[in-house]
Amino acid sequence: MKRGVGLRFGDLGEQTAHVCVDVQRLFHEETDWHTPWLGRILPQVERIAAAHPARTAFTRFIPAANAQSCSGTWRRYYERWPDMTLDRLEPGMVDLLPSLAALAPPARVFDKTTYSPWLEPDLQAHLRDLGTDTLVITGGETDICVLATVLGAVDRGYRVVIAADGVCSSADETHDAMVTLYCSRFGEQIEIAPTDEILRAWP
């Protein structure tokens, strides 16, 4: 096992919750934002979500209607990706993949319009209601929306466990760089472990 990988701080308690980041059709299907690894990690994401559906929160990235509706660098962003705006995407492309959507409810779905799910209060309020102290993170991309989710969780004091085989990126180099960063620079706050170990450790 790679150095730094594993549940170094022991088993996961009943206050653990699962945040699955943006496992949606617009990233799984053949779009400009297609993430090839998503299909590879999906079985692991499904296992974690199905094991604890009532303690799973799915986030969905909702693109802007069009570039003209945005300000600042988000306008430039959607000018770069005009076919990924709501005005041009086919209906339903923001949906979760069907196997995950079937779990909600009892799982909850939280929409966001930026990389971070923490800018709106709903996710934090939900996790507080569950009495959460630990988050298991899955989804994509390791170096963008997962990164924003993880850093926000660290800032809020959660123990953060990333499923090593349950996160993905469309860029191998930066995925690997982020895993190295998580292991080497956030050693007291972030753990990375395979799905099998996470499920064994989570009652």
- Domain residue spans of the chain: 16-62+92-201
Q: What is the pLDDT of residue 51?
A: 98
Q: What is the pLDDT of residue 3?
A: 52
Q: Which residues of the chain have pLDDT under 50?
A: 1
Q: What is the pLDDT of residue 1?
A: 40
Alpha carbons 119 and 113: distance in angstroms, whole number:
9
Give the helix, strand, coil percentages of the chain, each rounded to 5: 40, 20, 40
3-state secondary structure of 117: coil
Q: What is the pLDDT of residue 154?
A: 97
pTM for the model: 0.94
Q: Which two tokens stand for residue 140?
A: 């994509």
Q: What is the pLDDT of residue 158?
A: 97
Q: Which two tokens stand for residue 76?
A: 């430039």
Q: Which helix (H) or strand (E) holds 59?
A: strand 56-61
Quote the distance between the C-alpha of residue 62 and its chain's center: 14
- CATH tag for 16-62+92-201 (out of 3.40.50.2300, 3.40.50.850, 3.40.50.970, 3.40.50.360): 3.40.50.850
| 145-155 vs 172-185: helix crossing angle, rounded to 10 | 10
- pLDDT digits 0-9 by tens, 70-95: 999 999 999 999 999 999 999 999 99
